[in-house]
Chains A and B, each alone.
Chain A
Amino acid sequence: MRFTPTELTGPELDLQTEVREFLAAELPPGAHEPCLGMAADHDREFSAKMAARGWVGMALPSRWGGSDRTAVQRFIVVEEMLRWGAPVGHHWVADRQTGNVILKFGSDEQRERFLPPICRGELGFSIGMSEPDSGSDLASVSTRAERADDGWVVNGTKIWTSNAHMNDWFICLLRTAPMEDGNKHAGLSQFLIDLQSPGLEISPIPFLDGSHHFNEVTFHDVFVPDVNVVGQPGMGWHQNTTEMAYERGGPDRWLSPFSTVEQLLREAAGTPMEDAVSDLFGELAARWWGIRNLSLSVARLIDEGEAPSVESALVKEMGTRYEQEVVEKLVQLIDEEYSPESESLFERLLAQCVVTFPGNTIRGGTIEILRSVASKGLQGLPA
């Protein structure tokens, strides 16, 4: 394991400037309600504007509608969007992972069908992994897809599915053959399922603060055509593990509270600041600088053809814990009794952080699972 320091090249710095100028014009600071990282608002119009700049699906090949850009270039766009609190929710999943999965494992027909609209910022994807009895032990999923003429018939339930009520498509890990003794990873397959399919029922699972992100998605004899199977039936576990690697180590795992911290500094301008508050800004800037350099080096490794899965797991585990630490430090220092309806934007954001950030160390693989992946890598064992 080695994180090699890297820095942005001239053209990469120009991209950073371009993104900052775009954001300053689209979402002037202080005049928009920032989102907290990747748990961002869904705004098809904003996604389309980003896509028009070539910033959605940007690392995908131009042959399929992408921009042939690098992981580092995508890192630059994503970090600026997230630190600004931009509404990137609609294209988020497709841009980060589903596009990559379809490119890597899908058929040419699927690439033709899905990748250009993903790159236009049109398609929103949900991820179908968790089930009532399958969370961290993902290989135990039991929602079944059974063979039918020209396709498959799906029955079962997926839960805690983010934004299924707003998205268009569902990439699902389903069981296509019974669990084998000694090989629980066999018999799983990945499917692309239209969220408008007959027999597919979406019902809200209210989030702890009453908001609607999570859903229960129930399949009653939902027909999925053969052309929507991703890769080879039975190879779902391997494909899914590859997909998870795209989820890890990026700016979305350490930037979620940034807009809250920035807003505190904005609201504090012009008034005397206690030393403890000033010191905290310094401390947070230092830690973010360090973690960002690690995360950026992971993106560079990907561009160099490496598969830095241990490094990504280490950054994600550290970054998500850091996000919670930032919030805790703010909470310790702030006298006000903030609430989601405070007059101050900073206080509203902080209240939202307090209530929703326990999920940051859970989503996309709990930190306990990440530690197991990372420590096997540290010991030179297969993950």
Chain B
Amino acid sequence: MSVRIAPEPVVVDELITETAGRLFGELCTHEAVQAAEDSGGAPDIWEAFCETGFDLIAVPEEAGGSGGTLAEAIEVLRLVGYHSAPIPAAENGILGGWLLAQAGLERPDGLVTVVPPRAADGGWSGGETCSVSLNGDGTAVLSGDAHRVPWARSAETVVCVCGFDGTSTVVSVPASECTITPLPNMAGEPRDTVSFDGATGRAAPAPHGVDADALAQRGALSRVALMAGAIEKMCQLTVSYTNERVQFGRPVARFQAVQQHLVWAAQDAALVRMAAEVAAREATRGDAPFEIAAAKLVANQAAARATKACHQAHGAMGMTQEYPLHHFSRRLWSWRKEYGSDAHWSAVLGQMATGVGADGLYPLITSGTAALA
């Protein structure tokens, strides 16, 4: 009988990995991903994704979702990243779907997206450029502009959260009431501007633990999962390409200088996947502020190193649109900046690390959030 108790294992059903992997493998060809970028969406891929129920994975069944754990949703997102599937899987499911379910708001038909919280403006997910006023009758009026809202142009519903823990409110606004100005991120994914212009939405109080900070953490976790998939695929492309590309009479992968890039990229792929899986495991069990912050910072830094290594190993071929490396590298550069930059998460982690003090520093590394209590 041990004194310290290990938590219950978190297991991801292999069928999820298999099904999502097969679906994206068939649909997310280089051409399809490019076409989605050119047209601003991939309704056919989204429809096929919805048919599997993965669009609402980890949203409780009683709230109209597909059920399943957060860890399983994160595994699906890892595969979205691995195949650069051009769909708002995170926004519709574990972010927007989660907020609606938590607040008990009805889930309208069609795609749901979320206004990402601005790190500097705790309490209101729309940032300082827009505001909300609650009417007290279950409705709210929004004004101003929300920026970098993923796939807003295709969404039926825009969700945001305002106020602080315990007193925060989730607001759900029909996209038809807003003016949407398309804007791409560096990978050509829609990150649109939503002008509310007095749009009226439905509002409901959020339970304890659901606020802009919690959304920021879930959003960061979603990006880590996407990044883990993208880095892994980028590495595999690089190993294949350097084995096929012959210069000086042999595959360039035989050169030590090129091997260095392969090894460094493989390390970062392993590091980010580990970070994503451990953070997802802990977030499935409960609050995981340390693991999520650490995972996003590690992923951000790894994305910088791995994209550099993989591009260098590809030479000029990686700089062309005809070769798929850019689907992954440009997404990584974009996702690195979403839901928290390096500076943001370093500061958050710095508060935790200095807070536990010298004697608590190693226990923080081994036990994570549990060591903060």
Contact = CB atoms under 8 A, between A and B. Distances in A.
A375 B262 contact: yes
A271 B131 CA distance: 39
A317 B358 contact: no
Contacts of A286: 293-295, 297-298, 345-346, 349
Which one of A280, A284, A375 has the greatest number of beta carbons of chain B within 10 Å?
A375
Interface stretch (B42-50, B106-114, B144-152, B267-275): B267-275
Contact of A275 (B267, B291, B294, B350): B350
A282 B271 contact: no
A278 B2 contact: no
Q: How large is the interface on B (under 10, 10 to 19, 20 to 34, 35 or more residues)?
A: 35 or more
B253 A281 contact: no
Contacts of B266: 1, 314, 374, 378
A285 B353 contact: yes
Contacts of B361: 261-262, 265, 281, 285
B365 A282 contact: no
A10 B294 contact: no
Interface string B41-82: 000000000000000000000000000000000000000000
Interface in B259-295: 259-260, 262-263, 266-267, 270-271, 273-275, 277-278, 281, 290-291, 293-295
Contacts of A287: 298, 301
B3 A262 contact: no
A60 to B, nearest CB: 23
Contact of B364 (A269, A279, A285, A378): A285
A294 B271 contact: yes
Contact of A14 (B4, B343, B351): B4
Do most interface residues of chain B lie in helix, strand or loop, or is the interface mixed? Answer: helix
B343 A279 contact: yes
B365 A288 contact: yes
B160 interface: no
Contacts of A11: 2
B149 to A, nearest CB: 28
B362 interface: yes
A283 B270 contact: no
B274 A293 contact: yes
Given A11-B2, A314-B266, A314-B267, A282 B359 contact: no
Interface centre among A12, A83, A374 (most CB of B within 10 A): A374
A263 interface: yes
B274 A3 contact: yes
A375 B5 CA distance: 39
B256 A290 contact: no
Interface string A341-383: 0000000000000000000000000001011101100110000
B319 interface: no
A292 B366 contact: yes
Contact of B256 (A7, A8, A317, A371): A371
B368 interface: yes
B294 A285 contact: yes
B2 to A, nearest CB: 3
A371 B362 contact: no
Most B Cβ at <10 Å: residue of A7, A8, A294, A297: A7
Contact of B298 (A258, A268, A290): A290
A29 interface: yes
Interface string A174-203: 000000000000000000000000000000
Given A263-B358, A378-B239, A282 B350 contact: yes
A5 interface: yes
Contacts of A279: 343, 346-347, 349-350
Interface in B18-43: none
Nearest to B236: A378
Contacts of B321: none
DSSP class of A's interface residues: helix, strand, loop or mixed?
Answer: helix
A94 to B, nearest CB: 26
Contact of B263 (A29, A290, A374): A374
A13 B370 CA distance: 13
Contact of B347 (A5, A275, A290): A275
B249 interface: no
Contact of A317 (B5, B263, B352, B353): B263
A163 B365 CA distance: 32
A198 B5 CA distance: 55
Contacts of B364: 285
A266 interface: yes
B262 A378 contact: yes
Contact of A265 (B5, B273, B354): B354
B348 interface: yes
Contacts of B301: 287
B350 A289 contact: no
Interface string A19-32: 00000000001000
B373 interface: no
B253 A266 contact: no
Given A292-B366, A371-B259, A266 B2 contact: no
B17 interface: no
Given A273-B354, A278-B354, A285-B353, A16 B263 contact: no
Contacts of A17: 3-4
B267 A265 contact: no
B6 interface: yes
A368 B256 contact: yes
B243 interface: yes
A160 to B, nearest CB: 23
Nearest to B5: A10
8 tightest Cβ-Cβ pairs between the two chains A and B: A282-B349, A10-B2, A282-B350, A286-B294, A13-B4, A266-B358, A278-B350, A375-B259
10 contacts: A263-B358, A265-B358, A278-B351, A280-B346, A282-B297, A282-B349, A286-B349, A289-B275, A293-B278, A371-B263
Interface of B: 2-7, 239, 243, 253, 256, 259-260, 262-263, 266-267, 270-271, 273-275, 277-278, 281, 290-291, 293-295, 297-298, 301, 343, 345-354, 357-359, 361-362, 364-366, 368
Given A261-B361, A282-B353, A293-B275, 9 more contacts: A5-B281, A10-B2, A266-B358, A269-B358, A281-B350, A314-B267, A371-B263, A372-B256, A378-B266
Interface of A: 1, 3, 5, 7-14, 16-17, 29, 79, 83, 258, 261-263, 265-266, 268-269, 273, 275, 278-294, 297, 311, 314-315, 317-318, 368, 370-372, 374-375, 378-379
